[in-house]
Amino acid sequence: MRILVVGAGAIGGYFGGRLLQAGRDVTFLVRPRRASELASAGLVIKSPNGDVTLKNPPTVQADKLTEKFDVVLLSCKAFDLDDAIKSFAAAVGPNTAIIPMLNGMRHLDILDQTFGAGRVLGGLCAIAATLNEKREVVQLQPMQSINYGERDGKLSDRVKAIDEAFRSGINGATASQNIMQDMWEKWVFLSTLAASTSLMRTSVGNILAAPGGRDFLLGMLDETSAIAAASGYAPGGPFFERVKGNLTTEGSPMTASMFRDIKAGLPIEADHVIGDLIARGDAAKVPVPKLRIAYTHLKAYEKQRVG
């Protein structure tokens, strides 16, 4: 199985690196600067689950990409999706499976329109990782998972083959027969956390310590959950209780990566994570006043950043 990992940043570098470490046929699609870094220093992973340095990992640049791959693992930010699609399009053949690990749902529509829905699986991952100043992949916590599956819930032969390859190298790799539910539940949690901590510019614990903070956080969760329910993917059971617990833990330092990106003056996924959720809420006539305020805040930040 030939696997093309789009990018070798924190997420692609980690999961692709673990697959390469396990002896899988992995190639990283990278820009010239990253190709040079990997050629000189290797792909370095620092992790509670074990450090590794992979010398001269296979790389290719977009203008040299001519061969077809069995799997494309896509982990870019939403605002880079169009450029990413152009970069890996030549690698997609009639039997290629694309596994996107973006947040939200909007990217599925874009990938479907470009490559056809039959080539696009559902996918998501959970990992806290970053690139340090040496451009090494640093996993910040031992927790990690990556899920993938057919969007109709069938356990197809191709998903079984992908699962066999991924499980050989990645702890927490799982073929899911409920991938759309999984993706929606992650979106509910992520959008609640991103909207709340970005709007309030602080952690969950500090929001809870403020007057009305608990009601604000749970109110935001109610809005995002109502949109998911109206779309046919109501969150519930252990997931919902776990999320409520995360959002009501006093003193919690938890923040969203979107908030951290705002602090660093970086681009954010306002439209993909929050804006698209609001649009789906509007279509289902779900009132979302808190989400609207958060979205206005994010768009004002984007305007200020480029202005």
In angstroms, the CA 304 to CA 298 distance is: 10
Q: Of 247, 289, 295, which Cα lies nearest the Cα of 273?
A: 295
Write down the residue that tokens 């009132």 correspond to.
Answer: 287
Contacts of 287-293 with CB under 8 Å at 24 or more apart are 287/223, 288/223, 288/226, 288/227, 289/223, 290/195, 290/216, 290/219, 290/220, 290/223, 291/191, 291/195, 291/220, 291/223, 291/224, 293/199
- Does residue 186 carry a catalytic annotation? yes
Please work out, in degrees rounded to the nearest 5, the angle formed at the alpha carbon of residue 115 by the alpha carbons of 110 and 116. 90
Please tell me what DSSP assigns to residue 52: E
Q: Which of 154, 186, 244, 299 is catalytic?
A: 186
**Pair 298, 291: CB distance under 8 Å:** no
The SS3 assignment for 3 reads strand
Classify residue 210 as exposed, middle or buried by CB count within 10 Å of its CB (0-12, 13-18, 19+): exposed
Helix (H) or strand (E) holding 19: helix 10-21
Please work out, in degrees rounded to the nearest 5, the angle formed at the alpha carbon of residue 98 by the alpha carbons of 93 and 104. 150
Hey, which residues are catalytic here? 186
